[in-house]
Amino acid sequence: MNICYEWRDAPAADFAVIGDPVAHSRSPQMHQAAYNALGLPYRYVALRVSAGKVGETLDYLTGLGYRGVNVTVPHKQEAMDWTMGADRLTDNVGEPRSLDPLTEKIGVVNTLNLIERSAINTDGPGFLDTLTPYEFARGSTALILGAGGSARAVAAVLPSAGFDVWIWNRTHSRAVALGEEFRLGTVETPTANFDLIVNTTSAGLKSESLPIDWRGAKEEGLAYDLVYGETRFLRDANSHGMRTLDGKALLMSQGARSFEWWLGIPAPREAMLEAIQ
């Protein structure tokens, strides 16, 4: 566990990740490694913020001189509301800004610029970055497991990369709602005969298994879990001959995109990835 502050005890710093829980976050060590690699004088900390307190926290951090914030579960929607002025509490911040089209489509934000009161979602584009080395052909098939916040980011970007995308969720009605919104197919039973299977559920955090029928798993297929480390989903996929990728790749990639959006210089991706191994 890293040092984690309650938001009211926020120390002098430049950037932060806010969430609840957030003590497990590897973002501070990753961003700090990036500043060290480039000789930048910034400090990045983890702050615990309870649900319902995000707007107040962001106003407070703006007053303390923080430049930017990453947002993790469960605050991405509240952070978007703050950016758009929906929960505006004080007048000492700039006017709310509009969102870029992809962020608007995803509908939640994970990266805020407090000086400009603007926000983006780097999970979607960061996710696509991590697929680049695999060189999937257009028309490849993808199955998204889950229909929560991170499934939205994945569902918003995969079609634009040429994938034929399907969604499965434990609560089927949520898969149907997401499928209708993004014009994607849904399945009631998850099978493994896809070129890419992305597990966006939090089952891996609890070592719970998913009801996947692994028959038909493809050797050249990729099983990708957004949770860090070796999950049961990845072990099962590996034992059925699939290639695997865990959530550290996305953590680095979305973080690198946040870094670049804040600072306007290329992120030292290798140093960032090394810091979270």
Residues annotated catalytic, as ranges: 76
Give the residue, chosen from 223, 226, 234, 237, that forms a contact with ligand NDP under the rule CB under 6 A.
Answer: 226
Cβ(16)–Cβ(3) under 8 Å?
Answer: no
Give the residue, chosen from 203, 217, 234, 245, that forms a contact with ligand NDP under the rule CB under 6 A.
Answer: 203
Rounded Cα–Cα distance for residues 154 and 243 (Å) = 19
- Residue placing its CB nearer to ligand NDP in the complex, 197 or 250: 250
At a CB cut-off of 8 Å and minimum separation 6, what does 79 contact? 18, 54, 58, 69, 71, 108, 109, 110, 112, 119
List phi, psi (to 5°) of 165: -110, 135
* 57 is a site residue for ligand NDP (CB under 6 A): no
User: What is the size of the binding site for ligand NDP (CB under 6 A)?
Assistant: 25
Span near ligand NDP by CB under 6 A; candidates 54-62, 97-105, 148-156, 259-267: 148-156
Give the residue, chosen from 68, 179, 247, 268, that forms a contact with ligand NDP under the rule CB under 6 A.
Answer: 247
* 130 is a site residue for ligand NDP (CB under 6 A): no
Least gap, CB of 196 to ligand NDP (angstroms): 16
- Taking residues 69 to 88 in sequence order and writing x for each that binds ligand NDP by CB under 6 A, - otherwise, the string is ----x---------------
* 128 is a site residue for ligand NDP (CB under 6 A): no
Span near ligand NDP by CB under 6 A; candidates 50-58, 130-138, 149-157, 233-241: 149-157
At a CB cut-off of 8 Å and minimum separation 6, what does 22 contact? 4, 46, 47, 48, 49, 72
- Residue placing its CB nearer to ligand NDP in the complex, 174 or 269: 174
Q: For ligand NDP, which residue has the nearest CB?
A: 148
List phi, psi (to 5°) of 198: -110, 120
Burial code (b: 16+ CB inside 10 Å, e: under 16) for 99-131 equals: beeebebbbbbbbbbbeebbbbbbbbbbbebbb
- In angstroms, the first-to-last Cα distance of the chain is 14
Give the residue, chosen from 19, 124, 149, 268, that forms a contact with ligand NDP under the rule CB under 6 A.
Answer: 149
Cβ(251)–Cβ(30) under 8 Å?
Answer: yes
User: Which SS3 state, helix, strand or coil, does residue 44 take?
Assistant: strand
* 53 is a site residue for ligand NDP (CB under 6 A): no
Give the residue, chosen from 148, 176, 238, 260, that forms a contact with ligand NDP under the rule CB under 6 A.
Answer: 148
- Taking residues 157 to 196 in sequence order and writing x for each that binds ligand NDP by CB under 6 A, - otherwise, the string is ------------xxx--x----------------------
Q: Any idea what the Cα angle at residue 100 is, between residues 98 and 106, rounded to 5°? A: 105
Q: What's the chain's length in residues?
A: 277
Interacting residue ranges for ligand NDP, rule: CB under 6 A: 73, 123, 146-151, 169-171, 174, 200-203, 205, 208, 210, 226-227, 247, 250-251, 254
